[in-house]
A and B are shown apart, each in its own frame.
Chain A
């Protein structure tokens, strides 16, 4: 499954960014680049719809942290929503649930 990242919904209050495929070493760079671009256009209140992400490795997690850094430095947030089992288990394994705000689905993540 190819890696895709796209803006899905934009409101004044938040933007939903949908990601699908494998978030790993190979796609981490692209992910970081796209998030940076989105934040640079003034959208820093981000909800990441990860419903279609089937796999995350530690490079992918590191990219999520970079995204968090990017959004928060711009005064926004970086919420993760709708995670599948594998991403949840690696996030828990590395205690990143200690850092990220994780929501059951996109609706719950909306402020």
Chain B
């Protein structure tokens, strides 16, 4: 009980510090707006105060997030539960996938089936699966020429090919500990629980973590805080999910999409038909039939008739209209025959009699094009409920974003499902080993997150509680930091070159408000992190400004985004272009500081306080940005190599046959 007591005390203390930090932050920013603006240079002071406001909002969200911290202890696992283990791969080396698959076969759980989900459809990978004795799933021919939806599509495909009650998802490089299911399945005795996420831990981080990949802050205090509000994030790997929850999500999405689409397409068709003119009785009758049919379908839709029924009404109306038009055209042919017959053509007379005698059946069989429907085949197809634009109609994992995991979790939460973050490391994976790969991964996360923000904004999502909205918003919000960080990086440069300050004056009034807030801000972050190093993360947060700006702009400009598979091996190369924006700011900062110092001693110059504040600020910026320069030229120390977890090493060496086939 002592540790529980300690936990509670620590949490209370953290709340007190958090509260103080927020109060000091608000005190500072209110002063900045009311007395602290440099009114002579609004072009500078306004962006600056907005950037500061952004930072304070970020802190408020962080304090709110860390308000609760549930203590999760593994519960006894159920007697029996069928579990499918999905190992997702696209182009990772076979050896890597094999190591993970072998470890998965050794997971301590009797009713499990291991599958390699090979999106690369490699024959060699199939062979590996056969050798290990696990299942192999790749996409069927129904996916040909259909959107593939990257990893989400890969998993959605496998969901329809398998049947276990629970699903453990593992990225190709995530070697699972044998206990991963025993520790997590117990939570599912709560029937409303949709998933349990466990941490991502990297066993190949070089000393000092030059690329800032260390994830224990996110898969620790951050996820724990979110968990406190029933808003733990599903992160695409190392998580156990309830199949029923996923399938229900897919079905909901199908029904919603179909209804929306039926409505849209019907509206489009009606608009087209309205624009159609007719010049004789028969074609007017045909258009009328179509109009009435569509109206009836519309009414049925509004009256909540089944979509299948609505779709049938439309198809029937189209068929009848085609018949009417066709009848008219066939009638005209008959008329021509009749004229010939009157001129004595006996064969024409026979044809005439044949047509008139079988007018309806001939008209039904003769294809006809209706002016009003020309070029509307796609609408009609969309009305058919077959979802022919997609390979599979039911898509459990959200496909609206290249970070499918976040969108899926948000939908689950909005449907009332619960989630748990269980903080024990139960899988061991690989982090990118060079700056280029690391940046690719970060860019995908940033773009995907902003994409979800734009397409399914949590603030307006029905079914989410207020704290859940805040938890999703907080993460999305943090990816907009690029613009504000740029302002913070440029500010001292502008000051040195122009002598213009973003604040009214570097006065006592400023310092007594700013310094306590700044210190408290640093303290709360470190206190919540409770021993996990945060400095590398802070450096990267500032240094990643170009990437975050790029992510937001690329999403807002509506460009099609690629799901980039993070390279699991070193790609090599020290491309300077990766860091040119940071390098530019570094050079400008040094030049500005040099100029400022020279001015101070030689010219009319800037006040001493201004010089001191901006020099300190410049140094902070330089140290932060230097992290990417160091990362670009980083070489791991002689003799260092990644150490695979003990339990997996034996497997990799012996590669013996597993005891049980799935």
A residues within 8 Å of B by Cβ?
24-26, 28-29, 32, 57-59, 61-62, 65-66, 68-69, 72-73, 77-79, 94-102
Contact = CB atoms under 8 A, between A and B. Distances in A.
Contacts of A32: 160
Given A58-B251, A61-B251, 16 more contacts: A25-B243, A26-B163, A57-B244, A58-B243, A58-B247, A58-B248, A62-B251, A65-B394, A66-B160, A66-B393, A66-B394, A73-B386, A73-B388, A99-B308, A101-B306, A101-B312
Interface string B293-304: 000000000001
Contacts of B387: 69
B165 interface: yes
B250 interface: yes
A77 B369 CA distance: 24
A77 B316 CA distance: 13
Contact of A96 (B163, B164, B255): B255
A62 B247 contact: yes
Given A58-B251, A62-B251, A98 B394 contact: no
B384 interface: yes
Contact of A62 (B164, B304, B307, B394): B394
B308 A94 contact: no
B306 A102 contact: yes
Contacts of A66: 160, 392-394
Interface of B: 160-165, 243-244, 247-248, 250-252, 254-255, 258-259, 304, 306-309, 311-312, 384-388, 392-394
Nearest to B84: A25
Contact of A77 (B163, B251, B308): B308
A65 B251 contact: yes
B194 to A, nearest CB: 12
A54 B12 CA distance: 52
30 contacts: A24-B163, A25-B163, A26-B163, A29-B161, A57-B244, A58-B244, A58-B251, A59-B163, A59-B247, A62-B394, A65-B251, A65-B394, A66-B393, A69-B385, A69-B387, A72-B311, A72-B385, A72-B386, A73-B388, A77-B308, A78-B308, A79-B308, A94-B252, A97-B306, A98-B255, A98-B304, A99-B258, A99-B306, A101-B309, A102-B306
B255 A99 contact: yes
A29 B243 CA distance: 15
Nearest to B254: A65
Contacts of A73: 384, 386, 388
A68 B255 contact: no
A98 B243 contact: no
A interface SS class: helix
A100 B307 CA distance: 7
A96 B393 contact: no
Contact of A29 (B163, B248, B258, B384): B163
A28 B244 CA distance: 13
B259 A98 contact: yes
A65 B393 contact: yes
Contacts of B161: 29
B251 A25 contact: no
A102 B306 CA distance: 8
A94 B255 contact: yes
Contacts of A79: 308
Given A57-B244, A58-B244, A101-B309, A94 B251 contact: yes
A28 B164 CA distance: 12
A25 B248 contact: no
Contacts of B251: 58, 61-62, 65, 94, 96
A59 B243 contact: yes
Nearest to B160: A62
B195 to A, nearest CB: 15
Among A24, A28, A62, A101, chain B packs the most CB atoms within 10 A around the CB of A62
Contacts of B311: 72
A61 B386 contact: no
Given A25-B163, A98-B255, A69 B393 contact: yes
Nearest to B387: A69
A3 to B, nearest CB: 12
A99 B258 CA distance: 8
A104 B255 CA distance: 22
A98 B309 CA distance: 10
A22 to B, nearest CB: 12
Contacts of A96: 251, 255
A68 B243 CA distance: 22
A65 B254 CA distance: 9
A99 B244 contact: no
Contacts of B163: 24-26, 28-29, 59
A58 B309 CA distance: 22
B264 to A, nearest CB: 16
**Which of A59, A96, A101 has the most chain B CB atoms inside 10 A of its CB?**
A59
Contacts of B385: 68-69, 72, 99
